[in-house]
């Protein structure tokens, strides 16, 4: 794991040396949205505070509860970050993905070059609001706001898009820049091929006579049932990715879609990943490949929850023979092609927002969603 992070740092240093050798004004900016992760343990408390007080992400019954939970959980979460090397690698991965994507875009879409990526995190630096200021300073002709969650949820992508609306609510929106949105890409064929390739690599680590029986567990971050019942499209979009990946793999193995990372006492979407492993072991299954199907880079849920808690601790506890984990897409060449393919097609299409993006969940009662969707419709459909 540390070797992997070391290689990532080397690649980043090389790329930033190439980039800083000539300062070129970008014609097209690509703003990569994600939740982010603390880069060191000192950032954990602020990071948790922002998550727990984000009403789009989590709806607690009392306002005081968010800061209280954040404070209470800080030591436990800091310990987890210590155990994966002292911080989240998500910024390094996102920057590497952005640099590689823009290099590719400069080649395949010369009309919109030079391209520059920007990172907009929801809960930790670089915060989206600060990055928007940076974009305005650079003043590219176009900016594509590109959610890095392939499957759309109002708690993740929706929260990031709402925060952009919130940032501009009481200030002038830079209309001289042409803005557009890529909000979901769960069925992109190159994304599907990336997952399939990473799964094949893990299946090949099992002896040939056992390979066919290995259960592929697609694991995605769970969602409170309240959000699911509001009509959040995330579960169906995750299901769409899973179906296409299994199609690409020609249904080579038994598989199941399971959900991880539940927090708090309220009911969340099940079956949970650890319960699924326990259940299948009871049914006599011994070997698994876990696939983080809704994460595009490594972070705490892959490096700690999946690798340490499930692949090692839980495997030992329940007597599973082997639980392997497929890598997140990271800098897989097919994944970089997926990112550049999605953006270049989007730029060519001239589409600024999709009809789906302007819709609210059927049972949404969040006034922020209403205001935000109206704002995007008014400004992005011009
Ligand atoms: Fe989905 Fe508001 S909760 S649009």
Q: What is the pLDDT along the chain (382 residues), one digit of tens a residue?
A: 444 555 555 555 544 444 444 467 899 999 999 999 999 999 999 999 998 888 878 777 777 888 888 899 999 999 999 999 999 999 999 999 999 999 999 999 999 999 999 999 999 999 999 999 999 999 999 999 999 999 999 999 999 999 999 999 999 999 999 999 999 999 999 999 999 999 999 999 999 999 999 999 999 999 999 999 999 999 999 999 999 999 999 999 999 999 999 987 889 999 999 999 999 999 999 999 999 999 999 999 999 999 999 999 999 999 999 999 999 999 999 999 999 999 999 999 989 999 999 999 999 999 999 999 999 999 998 6
By most ligand atoms within 8 Å of CB, the mutation choice from 58, 153, 154, 237 for ligand 1 is: 154
By most ligand atoms within 8 Å of CB, the mutation choice from 152, 158, 236 for ligand 1 is: 158
What are the DSSP calls for 111-153, one per residue? GGPSEEEEEEESSSSSBHHHHHHHHHHH--SEEEEEES-SS--
Q: Which atom of ligand 1 is nearest to the CA of 56?
A: 3
Q: Give the distance (Å) from ligand 1 centre to CA of residue 153.
A: 8
CATH 3.40.50.1400 residue window(s) in the chain:
2-186+333-380, 189-325
Upper half-sphere CA count for residue 37 (Cβ side, 13 Å): 22
User: What's the confidence (pLDDT) of residue 205?
Assistant: 98
- On whether the pTM is more than 0.85, the answer is yes
Phi, psi (degrees; rounded to nearest 5) at 183 = -100, -20
Q: Give the distance (Å) from ligand 1 centre to CA of residue 121.
A: 20
- Select 189-325's CATH number: 3.60.150.10, 3.40.50.1400, 3.40.309.10, 3.30.470.20: 3.40.50.1400
Q: Give the distance (Å) from ligand 1 centre to CA of residue 151.
A: 14
Q: Give the distance (Å) from ligand 1 centre to CA of residue 362.
A: 8
User: What's the confidence (pLDDT) of residue 7?
Assistant: 54
By most ligand atoms within 8 Å of CB, the mutation choice from 364, 368, 370, 371 for ligand 1 is: 364
Give the three-class secondary structure for 284.
coil
Specify the residue for token string 């209403």: 370
- Select 2-186+333-380's CATH number: 3.40.190.10, 3.40.50.1400, 3.40.50.300, 3.30.930.10: 3.40.50.1400
Tell me whether residue 177 is exposed, middle or buried, using C-beta atoms within 10 angstroms of its C-beta: 0 to 12, 13 to 18, 19 or more.
middle
Q: Could you give the CA distance from residue 319 to residue 261 in angstroms, rounded to a whole number?
A: 22
User: What's the confidence (pLDDT) of residue 22?
Assistant: 47
Q: Could you give the CA distance from residue 204 to residue 211 in angstroms, rounded to a whole number?
A: 7
Q: Give the distance (Å) from ligand 1 centre to CA of residue 367.
A: 9
Phi, psi (degrees; rounded to nearest 5) at 33 = -95, 135
Contact 182, 161 (CB under 8 A): no
CA-nearest residue for atom 1, ligand 1, is 361
Cα–Cα nearest to 321, from 204, 198, 206: 206
User: What's the confidence (pLDDT) of residue 319?
Assistant: 97
User: What's the confidence (pLDDT) of residue 314?
Assistant: 98
Say whether the peptide bond before residue 242 is cis (omega within 30 degrees of 0): no
Q: Could you give the CA distance from residue 113 to residue 270 in angstroms, rounded to a whole number?
A: 45
In this structure, the number of other CB atoms found within 10 A of the CB of residue 338 comes to 23
Question: HEC profile for 215-233?
Answer: EEEEEEECCEHHHHHHCCC
User: What's the confidence (pLDDT) of residue 312?
Assistant: 97
Q: Give the distance (Å) from ligand 1 centre to CA of residue 160.
A: 12
Q: Give the distance (Å) from ligand 1 centre to CA of residue 373.
A: 10
CA-nearest residue for atom 3, ligand 1, is 364
Contact 135, 337 (CB under 8 A): no
In this structure, the number of other CB atoms found within 10 A of the CB of residue 32 comes to 22
Query: pLDDT (tens digit, 9 = 90+) per residue, 61-114?
Result: 777 888 888 899 999 999 999 999 999 999 999 999 999 999 999 999 999 999
Q: Give the distance (Å) from ligand 1 centre to CA of residue 154.
A: 5
Hey, which residues does 258 pair with through a beta bridge? 219
Specify the residue for token string 């060191």: 40
Q: Give the distance (Å) from ligand 1 centre to CA of residue 361.
A: 5
Pocket-forming residues, ligand 1, beta carbon under 6 Å: 154, 158, 230, 232, 360-361, 364, 366, 369
Q: Which atom of ligand 1 is nearest to the CA of 231?
A: 1
Upper half-sphere CA count for residue 224 (Cβ side, 13 Å): 15
How is residue 58 annotated by DSSP?
-
Strands 322-325 and 142-147, bridge-based pairing: unpaired
Give the three-class secondary structure for 41.
helix
By most ligand atoms within 8 Å of CB, the mutation choice from 157, 361, 371, 377 for ligand 1 is: 361
Cα–Cα nearest to 201, from 213, 216, 186: 216
List the Cα angle 54/81/280 in 5-degree steps. Answer: 90
């Amino acid at each position: 794991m540390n070797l992997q992070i070391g290689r990532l740092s080397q690649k980043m240093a090389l790329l930033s040396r190439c980039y800083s050798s000539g300062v070129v004004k970008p014609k097209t900016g690509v703003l990569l949205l994600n939740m982010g992760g603390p880069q060191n343990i000192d950032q954990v408390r602020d990071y948790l505070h922002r998550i727990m007080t984000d009403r789009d992400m989590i709806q607690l019954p009392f306002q005081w509860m968010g800061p209280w939970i954040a404070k209470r959980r800080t030591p436990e979460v800091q310990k987890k970050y210590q155990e994966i090397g002292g911080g989240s690698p998500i910024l390094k991965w996102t920057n590497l993905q952005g640099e590689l994507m823009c290099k590719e875009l400069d080649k395949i879409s010369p009309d919109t070059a030079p391209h520059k990526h920007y990172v907009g995190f929801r809960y930790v630096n670089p915060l989206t609001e600060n990055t928007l200021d940076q974009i305005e300073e650079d003043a590219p002709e176009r900016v594509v706001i590109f959610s890095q969650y392939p499957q759309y949820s109002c708690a993740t992508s929706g929260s990031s898009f709402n925060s952009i609306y919130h940032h501009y609510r009481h200030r002038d929106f830079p209309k001289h820049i042409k803005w557009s949105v890529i909000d979901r890409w769960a069925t992109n064929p190159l994304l599907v091929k990336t997952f399939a390739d990473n799964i094949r690599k893990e299946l090949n680590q099992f002896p040939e006579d056992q390979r066919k029986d290995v259960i592929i567990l697609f694991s995605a971050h769970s969602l409170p049932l309240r959000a699911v019942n509001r009509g959040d499209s995330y579960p169906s979009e995750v299901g769409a990715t899973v179906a296409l990946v299994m199609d690409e793999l020609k249904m080579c193995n038994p598989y199941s879609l399971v959900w991880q990372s539940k927090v708090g006492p309220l009911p969340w979407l099940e079956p949970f990943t650890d319960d699924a492993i326990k259940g299948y072991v009871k049914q006599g299954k011994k070997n698994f490949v876990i696939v983080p199907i809704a994460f595009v880079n490594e972070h705490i849920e892959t490096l700690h929850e999946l690798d340490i808690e499930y692949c090692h601790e839980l495997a030992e506890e329940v007597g599973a023979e082997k639980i392997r984990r497929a890598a997140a897409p990271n800098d897989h060449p097919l994944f970089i092609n997926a990112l550049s393919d999605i953006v270049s097609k989007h730029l060519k299409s001239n589409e600024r927002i999709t009809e789906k993006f302007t819709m609210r969940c059927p049972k949404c009662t969040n006034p922020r969603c209403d205001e935000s969707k109206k704002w995007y419709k008014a400004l992005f459909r011009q």
